[in-house]
Amino acid sequence: MRAKVTSFLRRRVADPVMQQLRQGVTPSRLALSLAMGLVLSSMPLLGFTGAICIAFAAPLRLNQPAILAANYAATPLQVALFVPFFRAGSWVFGAEPVPLTLAQIRAEFDAGFFSAMAKYWDANLRAMAVFALVAPIATALLYLVLFQVLSRMPLPRSEPAGTLR
């Protein structure tokens, strides 16, 4: 199982990042793209992070393959941070924590779809507000770490097209 996960991450994340470096993307731009992708992809808004990454990448001229690779890699992080963002939102805004177990959520929706949507909408807005507070700091820290790592990576040279060994 571990070998499959490692192979999957290498194929979907590490290889595309190395390919970008080989193609001349600077470590600085690549680090910023990866940091933004990881942070944006951890926001507590399920199902929209890929589109949000693309929306940020275009005007900031970020590397789209890199930001999407980071988005893909951050899916487990998003799931892991979902409840903590909701809890932090309740704490920061002094709101009653919403139930976040499947049974509780199902009961809320069974009791009334629109009231449940309103309840979770408010909770999601609070979670997004906490995310907005944390995101710039997390992006800056990730950028610094990723820039250091990427700028020290030895790049294997690609063979020029048509070259025979």
Q: How far is CA 107 from the centre of its chain?
A: 30
Tokens of 38: 């990881």
pTM to 2 decimals? Answer: 0.78
pLDDT of residue 155: 63
pLDDT band at 164 (very low <50, low <70, confident <90, very high): very low
pLDDT of residue 118: 78
